[in-house]
Amino acid sequence: MSSQRSSFTGKIGFVLAAAGSAVGLGNIWRFPYLAAKYGGGIFLLTYLVLAITFGFTLMIAEIAIGRKTKLSAIGAFKALDKRFTFVGVLGAIIPIIILPYYAVIGGWVMKYFAGFASGATEQMADGNYFSNFIGSVGEPIFWFALFIAITAIVVFFGVEKGVEKVSKIMMPVLIAMILFIAIYVICTMDGALDGVIYYLKPDFSNFSVMTVVAAMGQLFYSMSLAMGIMITYGSYMKKDISIEKSTRQIEWFDTGVAFLAGLMIIPAVFAFSGGDAAALGQGPGLMFVTLPQVFNTMPAGSVIGAVFFIMVFFAALSSSISLMETIVSILMDKTKLNRRASCLIVLGGALLLGLPSSLGYSAWSSVKIIGMQFLDFFDFASNSVLMPIVALITCIFVGYILKPKAVIEEVEVNGKFKSKGLFTVMIRYVAPVFLLVILTSSILSAFGIIKI
Ligand code: PFF
């Protein structure tokens, strides 16, 4: 079976494909709002430290497991040790939770593209526009359904490669635009510099356990870790490509895009609101409220807004395709259903599961699960509970059952593993203890048992 597995071509092919899955709404929408909410510079610093230690360790381990076994997550764990098959299964549940609400946000992006394209820039810049939009029932559901339907059509016809090509071409343009908007805001708007300082200068009095919990969840989400995705990507990776170098490249790229997105949004929040706590802590709506205000001050703001949101749409689409493809292929493997039936089932399931996330801002806004709206709850369940659990068991598995040596050998198939000392210490000692502490505190705090 393994001999039929196709491989990425060229040295850069693997990095680009993995980066296409990694860079998405997590970087552009989620990272800035978390950084704004959880302490600015201190969040950024925490994130960076976690990325070069935890992110690095986990990504190396996942890619190496994939390449060693040439199987995707469930099969890979099963092949290495039958008792650990459940880790693969647990990881496979995560995309099922993420995809529906990812599509809800993807729908918001489409709506904003349509709004700018139709020249409604001024209305969209109104502070209440966003809350009115998500507070209505029909429209957000329409855009959500459209987004998930487009994702399903791509996966159904198997034209992912085409979309990924488009989104790869768009990526540099998107990055250039983010940079341009950041420079525009910082250079032309009063108060923006305070935002730059808030974002870049760590203020330790803003630090709390929540900073670490949020940064850790974001790391998994943004780098598509702890859900088996990187194992699958690794299974397609050729032996002559360096796992260590590729991991570093994906990490820097993913972190770079998130960093720039924060630099674009946080100074703008300061320019328009003076950086008061309510504006900084507003959460998922941050990008949708702030950027239209920026575009409204620009000459040709409608065009720039429309181009920006269509780019974000493509970045989001390539990520949602990789989420849906993962679920569809698991379903096909496990049930022997064909691609068509699997796509329809996943589409139907995602529509159903996404509805509460969308309605949570309107008709069902009074319904709360452990004090959270549906979207926040799904986000919490995947990023702050399931992913740390999968990451924790993966570390224990690699550290004590498989042994770090097996991963090191796989990495050293082509050259020296420079950071193998860091890798070994992290995977055996630091990561498991740290993950256990983080996991326990986020669960206890969600149930109101402790305050972090
Ligand atoms: N990493 C993506 C983002 O930052 O938007 C989200 C994601 C995509 C997670 C695909 C998992 C995945 F399989």
Closest CA to 94 of 447, 388, 433, 432: 388
Closest CA to 424 of 392, 395, 401, 391: 395
**pLDDT computed for residue 11 by the predictor:** 62
Write 365-372 long-range contacts (CB < 8 A, 24+). 365/135, 370/446, 370/447, 370/448, 371/446, 371/448, 372/446
Give the ligand 1 atom nearest the CA of 254: 4
> Atom 9, ligand 1: which residue's CA is nearest?
224
> How far does residue 221's CA lie from ligand 1's centre (Å)?
6
Within a domain: residue 6? Answer: no
Within a domain: residue 210? Answer: yes
> How far does residue 324's CA lie from ligand 1's centre (Å)?
11
Within a domain: residue 5? Answer: no
Residue 323 CB–ligand 1 contact under 6 Å:
yes
**pLDDT computed for residue 1 by the predictor:** 38
Residue 319 CB–ligand 1 contact under 6 Å:
yes
> Which ranges of the chain have pLDDT less than 70?
1-11
Give the ligand 1 atom nearest the CA of 24: 5
3-state secondary structure of 418: coil
**pLDDT computed for residue 164 by the predictor:** 75
Give the ligand 1 atom nearest the CA of 94: 11
Give the ligand 1 atom nearest the CA of 326: 13
> Atom 11, ligand 1: which residue's CA is nearest?
224
> Which of 94, 99, 257, 319, when mutated, tests ligand 1's pocket best, judged by the most ligand atoms within 8 Å of its CB?
319
Instruction: Print the domain residue range for 171.
Output: 11-446
Residue 222 CB–ligand 1 contact under 6 Å:
yes
Within a domain: residue 251? Answer: yes
* Alpha-carbon distance values, 310 to 11, 170, 187, 335 (Å): 29, 9, 25, 36
**pLDDT computed for residue 9 by the predictor:** 59
Residue 46 CB–ligand 1 contact under 6 Å:
no
Half-sphere exposure of 40 (CA within 13 A, CB side): 25
Within a domain: residue 266? Answer: yes
Q: Is 103 exposed, middle or buried (0-12, 13-18, 19+ CB in 10 A)?
A: buried
Residue 170 in tokens:
């768009």
Q: How many domains are contained in the chain?
A: 1
> How far does residue 174's CA lie from ligand 1's centre (Å)?
17
**pLDDT computed for residue 2 by the predictor:** 40
> How far does residue 264's CA lie from ligand 1's centre (Å)?
21
Residue 55 CB–ligand 1 contact under 6 Å:
no
> How far does residue 73's CA lie from ligand 1's centre (Å)?
16
Closest CA to 326 of 229, 193, 187, 256: 229
> How far does residue 323's CA lie from ligand 1's centre (Å)?
7
Residue 50 CB–ligand 1 contact under 6 Å:
no
Within a domain: residue 283? Answer: yes
Give the ligand 1 atom nearest the CA of 319: 8
Give the ligand 1 atom nearest the CA of 29: 5
Residue 21 CB–ligand 1 contact under 6 Å:
yes
**pLDDT computed for residue 3 by the predictor:** 42
Residue 26 CB–ligand 1 contact under 6 Å:
yes
Q: Which CATH number goes with the domain that contains 418?
A: 1.10.4160
Within a domain: residue 418? Answer: yes
Rounded CA-CA distance 40/32 in Å is 9
Assessment of whether the complete model's pTM goes beyond 0.75: yes
> How far does residue 22's CA lie from ligand 1's centre (Å)?
5
Within a domain: residue 209? Answer: yes
